[in-house]
Structure 1
Amino acid sequence: MLNRWTQFLLSRAKFVLATGIVATIAAATYGLGVFDALGQGGFDDPSTDSSQELARERAVFGNKNVDVVAIFRSESLAATDPQFKADVEETLAGVPKDAVTSVLTAWDTGDPAMISTDGHAVQVLVSLAGETQNDQADSNDVVMPALERTAGDLEVDLAGPWAVYTGVNETVSEDLARAELITLPIVLILSLLIFGSLVAAAMPVMVGAISVLGALALVRILTLFGEVSVFSINVISLLGMGLAIDYALFIISRFREELAELPEDDENAARTAMRITLGTAGRTVLFSAFTVAVAMSALLVFPQNFLRSLGYGGIAAVLIGAVTALTILPAVLVLLGRRIDAGRMPWRRGKAVATDTSHGAWARLAHAVMKRPIVVMIAIVGLLLLVASPFLGVKWGSVDYRVLPPDHPAHVAAEKLNDQFGEEKSTANVLLETADETEIDSYVASASKVDKVLDVRPVETKDGVTLLRATWSGNSQTEASRGVVEDLREIPGPDGSKVLIGGLSADTVDLLSSIKTHLPWMGAIIVAAMLVLLFLAFGSIVLPIKAVVMNLLSISASFGVITWIFGGGHLEGFLDYSSTGFLDATQPIFMLAILVGLSMDYEVFLLSRVREQWDKDADSGMSPSDRNTHAVAVGVQKTGRIITSAALLLAVVIGGFSTSGIVFMKMIGVGMLVALLVDATIVRALLVPATMKLLGRWNWWAPGPLRRFWERYGIREA
């Protein structure tokens, strides 16, 4: 198929380019409207107890969760002053009635804990209307502005889950826009240094921009068939630009290399060079795209729409990136020909594009490694395992106000809530399928005996169902809070019936349980797909297994680093964040999918050149050991500079995430940056040559039936 496409492109390059331009304009016009079609929810697993409690609660009572906490303060009036109460009620009268299901004040509940210790502030507990998280988001968009329009001399701070979610979404959008403004010029400058010419340097940025626009359009189409989270944009920004730059670098570098080998007066040089490029680097891009897409598709096994949406965004970004790199970019290169080097920088003028040999610096490094492969392998594996060791003690949690910058209004409000109303408290909603007062009292008595529980009180009884609210001291994301939920769930309801318990702590308990259940399936899909795809690419069952093991090492090292930093609270001042003491459980899942894909990207590129040289040396008369050593050295030499350059460009794109004010975004940026640099340097330049030297001819081994299958059906370079 790739050969047929190559023939078509070479004969109709102008048509392909014109079609690509029209498609890009259409994608930009349609895709930029995707933001209005994206949802803000999708963090729950519908099959869990907390989700079922929420659904049942809404069906009977409407939403009774505390979604927004408004803290009204008056410096001149006390909460006992009638004017203070009148000002609060006047403010609340401006809240649209159809946007809320409950608005409770301290005067409604008679709860003294809702009045500040100095008597000048009160809490108002707001429950948002809406059947889904997206509906609640729409309600929140009108409720929070209404609460901020205060009467009299009142001041208001808004805390609670939806204040945090809104803050996260707004901050992420601002951070991504700022990161793109910073990273794109740096990428362009680095591309200029790498390629040495203005025209060549503009190509990766062009491919990246087209990929992002195309992915946005594809995701908007997906929203027609189901809900897609706004967080899909994060992965589109990361992979759309990052991998497209990688693919452009692979294609352009090989094209220039092949072009330099052909006579200057050859009129068909550009077409000849592109035919070879698409048969080699093009094949690598195609396989890389498949591997990354499969890795991202593994996210679809999770029931949380948030994680599935990250998968949708990743698949869209990588597929559009590959299509762009194999259509528009080759068409441009064929039409440009040797003008790809137009606008050469002073240090490149008068120089042809050098073609690598087996005697360059990278080859010498590979030979040095292969002289002592056991020592190198033991040292690197030991180092990576040491770096990974903090991950053994990782603690998990979910999003709360501490992921926001300390000066964000929602973070400030949460701190005021904790400081001015006594110690921080967490709650759980408890549903009893009874209206019998004796049965309710019996459960309340049992629940009140649970360690750390301060209070269990009825909220409402309706249609034979009773809603209780349990309260205890501490943050909702601590292990102690999760333990309270688990203890409450051990208490049977009337006649031994199951009691549904929801709330933030319960959500986290169920989230961790859901991830634990589905993570093995994700791992199995990724490993199976990698083994199959790499076998089809190289005809070996040894190399795919080795690649999976090395990926596991580099990713584990990255997880060890983020655990030490963000879980342990190190480098807070340097990275400008406040540690929560745990890792958000969903983000390493996202990182795992991306990092597997990215590491396979470089693995396929390196091994393709090694395999190419191994096949070339088939009739050289060298011994299998010398042939293997020569193939590895040539492969490392011909890809070392390109992989390092690609990693550097991608590191800039990923590094933009580490500037975010959101802790989990910063964690993604730092973790992926570490994994990328480890994979592109230590693993590819040192560990791969060492292990391939030790394995020798076994690198290319496969059982007879599989070998014959690959020779007949395997995808080999043209």
Structure 2
Amino acid sequence: FFVSRFREELEHYETAEAVPRTVATAGRSIFFSGTAVLIGLSGLLFFPFMFMRSIGFAGVIVVFVSVVAALTFLPALLGVLGPRVNWLRVRRRSGGPGEGFWSRSAELVMRRPFVVILLVAGILAALLFPVGHMKVGIPEATVLPEKYESRAGDDLLKENFEYAALNPMEVVANLGQDPLSAEGLTDVRDLGESIRDAGGVSRVESVYTVGVGAARDYAAQVEDARDEAEKEAGGRVDGLVREQIQVEIQKNTDETVRQQLSEVEATYGTVPPGTEEQIRAEVEPRVPEEVRGAEDHIRAQVQRRVSAEVDSRVPKLPEGVSTSGAVTPEGVANFLELPAARDSEELETAVNSYVAGDRSLLRAVTEENPYTQRAYGAVDAVRAVEAPEGTDFIVGGLSAGQKDFISSLYQRVPLAAAFVIGVTYLILLVTFRSVFIPLKAVIVNILSLSASYGAVVFVFQDGNLSGLLNFTPLGFVDATLPILMFCTIFGVSMDYEVFLLSRIREAYENGDSNTASVSKGLVATAGIITSAAAIIIVVTGAFAFTGIILTKAVGLGLAVAVFVDATVIRVLLVPATMRILGDWNWWPGGRKATFRADGKKHD
């Protein structure tokens, strides 16, 4: 832009005068346009994340150095070169400033400004439509090309495993008491059930669920041991009954024989020889029948003895744990006190992973991919859960961290946007001494920026052109992208706007009508702005064919914004609005003295 103006000045003045005139005109525009770009990039410094601040700080340094070089080194270099700057010119002028495509375009817009505005409104509406359903998120390995191992591994995890369980919400509950006590486990259970019932959560894992699972396994083992012992004992009952019957028969026989011998001795004073054998011969056939008549009683006694033996061999279940699978918090606490639980290294490791002091960890598995908006909604639902009395909790984990990052990021957006837009407006107000020109510039910049957002949503969120650009649609836009694009595109677009308006203002102050000034300004800057825009479109557009989705999106967004700004906005919308506003464009500054082509001043 500076060199182009210097070559124009050389057509009328010597080098010694052309250089200061160029600095006074193009140099002034470069200073304010560079300041606009610098302000846009400074907006990144409002965010508390170092990667964004580093981008903003680096951009500010680059722009500052470029502006300083353009206002110091470049004038000195052109002063040395003088007319030799036109050596090896590729294309020479073939007509006056009022001829050519840009002149005809400006004249057409001047004749039908309202029609042009309606046409532009239709084009911009189509470009802006996708912005209405834009979603933001934090991407995972899907942003990488499929050739990378981390991307392939992530795809395998999604296809073959429960992906949400790999990145659950981490809920840390402050219980104020021992988490392994019956009361602490009750609070953990109640909180876990409330979290599970929150929207978007499929299940909750905690020290309570681990304890319940272990207690049920223990109860099942005890029940199996009891069944085995009872089965083994049941096989011995019949034999034990037979043995007991024989014992009872012998016992009763001996008892009956002794009793009858005592009666004989009492009657005769002595027991004759052979009397015992005779009595036993009479008693032995009769006693077994009497004993077998009481077999059911004997069997019951044997079964009670066997059952007592089984009870002594099989451990009892702790109170609160039943073989039916019902386990209470008190049951879990009692189970964890058993030697079988204390001696299990696996159970101890599992329990310790959920307990630290008086705090307990609960892991809530979301129903959806933890990188999605629904998972972020589940975080809100869990945070809205009412904790048991005397208990409080905080929610962390991947989904919560991402949601908090996005919230923290966009809390600063109003402040950054207000700074960029407000300061830019004030600079343009000082530059052009107009209230409406800066306002219009800000509005059209926002329109071109929104158009780029629409393109990004259409392509990278909705998945259109994914085959051509070789990427997997995310279903959302990277949360940092809209902010990076705003701070970059706003300044770059304003850069072109300042160049155009500077030439229009100069023509107006030289005495041309508002309509003629717009035409002259557009024609004078068309070539240089179009060339600069083409360079940015080619360079940033090439980013769309890189391997990383964020880089693709930044490149496409910048290319679309610059293309819309350099064509639809600058060629159609700006001239049309300036034609309608007329001299109000320059209110309240009006005209003032400036350089004319003949070297005189106009008052």
* Structure-2-length-normalised TM-score: 0.69
1:285 maps to a residue whose letter is: I
Distance 1:461 1:675, change over 3 A: same
- 1:331 equivalenced with 2:76 (yes/no): yes
Question: Is the 1:260–1:354 contact (alpha carbons within 8 Å) kept by the matching residues of 2?
Answer: no
Question: Is the 1:286–1:322 contact (alpha carbons within 8 Å) kept by the matching residues of 2?
Answer: yes
The correspondence for 2:502, drawn from 608, 620, 625, is 608
In the alignment, which residue of structure 2 is the partner of 1:357?
A: 97
Tell me: higher relative CO, structure 1 or 2? Use CA pairs within 8 A at least 6 residues apart: 2
In the alignment, which residue of structure 1 is the partner of 2:419?
A: 525
The correspondence for 1:302, drawn from 47, 64, 86, is 47
Distance 1:398 1:290 in 2: 32
Moved over 4 A (4+): 353-356
Structure 1 residue matching 2:395: 3-state secondary structure: strand
Question: Shift of the alpha carbon at 1:494?
Answer: 4.8
- 1:370 equivalenced with 2:118 (yes/no): no
Structure 2 residue matching 1:513: 3-state secondary structure: helix
Residues 21-60 of structure 1 aligned to structure 2 (within 5 Å)? none
- 1:443 equivalenced with 2:159 (yes/no): no
2:541 maps to a residue whose letter is: G
The number of residues matched between the two structures is: 442
In the alignment, which residue of structure 1 is the partner of 2:234?
A: none
Distance 2:484 2:383 in 1: 30
Structure 2 residue matching 1:477: 3-state secondary structure: coil
- 1:409 equivalenced with 2:135 (yes/no): no
Question: Is the 2:592–2:602 contact (alpha carbons within 8 Å) kept by the matching residues of 1?
Answer: no
In the alignment, which residue of structure 2 is the partner of 1:514?
A: 408
Q: Percent identity?
A: 37
The correspondence for 2:12, drawn from 251, 261, 285, is 261
In the alignment, which residue of structure 1 is the partner of 2:455?
A: 561
In the alignment, which residue of structure 2 is the partner of 1:592?
A: 486
1:260 maps to a residue whose letter is: E
- 1:676 equivalenced with 2:562 (yes/no): yes
Distance 2:518 2:535 in 1: 25
Q: Please say which of residues 505-514 and 546-555 is displaced more in the overlay.
A: 505-514
In the alignment, which residue of structure 2 is the partner of 1:321?
A: 66
Residues 175-574 of structure 1 aligned to structure 2 (within 5 Å)? 250-262=1-13, 269-345=14-90, 348=91, 351=92, 356-422=96-162, 424-425=164-165, 426-434=167-175, 435-436=178-179, 437-438=184-185, 439-451=187-199, 452-458=201-207, 459-495=353-389, 498-574=392-468
Distance 1:597 1:690, change over 3 A: same
Distance 1:682 1:656, change over 3 A: same
Distance 1:536 1:498, change over 3 A: farther
1:644 maps to a residue whose letter is: T
Distance 1:278 1:354, change over 3 A: farther
Question: Shift of the alpha carbon at 1:344?
Answer: 4.2
Distance 1:488 1:482, change over 3 A: same
Question: Shift of the alpha carbon at 1:456?
Answer: 2.0
1:276 maps to a residue whose letter is: R
Question: Shift of the alpha carbon at 1:354?
Answer: 6.6
Distance 1:503 1:357, change over 3 A: same
Could you list the per-position Cα deviations for residues 394-422 of structure 1 after superposition, in whole angstroms to 9, with x for gaps in the alignment? 12211211111122211111012222334
2:354 maps to a residue whose letter is: E
Question: Is the 1:428–1:502 contact (alpha carbons within 8 Å) kept by the matching residues of 2?
Answer: yes
Question: Shift of the alpha carbon at 1:469?
Answer: 2.2
Distance 1:296 1:423, change over 3 A: closer
In the alignment, which residue of structure 2 is the partner of 1:632?
A: 518
* Structure-1-length-normalised TM-score: 0.59
In the alignment, which residue of structure 2 is the partner of 1:104?
A: none
Unaligned residue ranges in structure 1 (runs of 5+):
1-249, 263-268, 619-626
2:107 maps to a residue whose letter is: H
1:680 maps to a residue whose letter is: A
Question: Shift of the alpha carbon at 1:659?
Answer: 2.3
Residues 49-198 of structure 1 aligned to structure 2 (within 5 Å)? none
Distance 1:357 1:251 in 2: 18
Question: Shift of the alpha carbon at 1:517?
Answer: 2.3
Distance 1:717 1:645, change over 3 A: farther
Could you list the per-position Cα deviations for residues 284-308 of structure 1 after superposition, in whole angstroms to 9, with x for gaps in the alignment? 1110111111112122222233322
Could you list the per-position Cα deviations for residues 420-451 of structure 1 after superposition, in whole angstroms to 9, with x for gaps in the alignment? 33455441111112343332233223223334
Structure 2 residue matching 1:514: 3-state secondary structure: helix
Distance 1:534 1:383 in 2: 27
Structure 1 residue matching 2:434: 3-state secondary structure: coil
Structure 2 residue matching 1:602: 3-state secondary structure: helix
Aligned residues: CA RMSD? 2.4
In the alignment, which residue of structure 2 is the partner of 1:109?
A: none
Distance 1:494 1:676 in 2: 56
Question: Shift of the alpha carbon at 1:355?
Answer: 8.0
In the alignment, which residue of structure 1 is the partner of 2:344?
A: none
1:427 maps to a residue whose letter is: P
In the alignment, which residue of structure 2 is the partner of 1:696?
A: 582
Q: Please say which of residues 546-555 and 671-680 is displaced more in the overlay.
A: 546-555
Question: Shift of the alpha carbon at 1:667?
Answer: 0.7
Could you list the per-position Cα deviations for residues 250-304 of structure 1 after superposition, in whole angstroms to 9, with x for gaps in the alignment? 1111112212334xxxxxx333222111111111111011111111212222223
- 1:654 equivalenced with 2:403 (yes/no): no
Distance 1:593 1:496, change over 3 A: farther
Question: Is the 1:542–1:699 contact (alpha carbons within 8 Å) kept by the matching residues of 2?
Answer: yes
Could you list the per-position Cα deviations for residues 300-352 of structure 1 after superposition, in whole angstroms to 9, with x for gaps in the alignment? 2222333222221221221122122222222222222222233444xx4xx5x
Question: Shift of the alpha carbon at 1:717?
Answer: 13
Distance 1:506 1:291, change over 3 A: same
1:338 maps to a residue whose letter is: P
1:420 maps to a residue whose letter is: N
In the alignment, which residue of structure 2 is the partner of 1:641?
A: 527
Question: Shift of the alpha carbon at 1:384?
Answer: 0.2
Distance 2:463 2:498 in 1: 37
Could you list the per-position Cα deviations for residues 501-521 of structure 1 after superposition, in whole angstroms to 9, with x for gaps in the alignment? 112211222133223422222
Distance 2:585 2:36 in 1: 20
Distance 1:422 1:468, change over 3 A: closer
Could you list the per-position Cα deviations for residues 230-255 of structure 1 after superposition, in whole angstroms to 9, with x for gaps in the alignment? xxxxxxxxxxxxxxxxxxxx111111
Question: Is the 2:511–2:602 contact (alpha carbons within 8 Å) kept by the matching residues of 1?
Answer: no
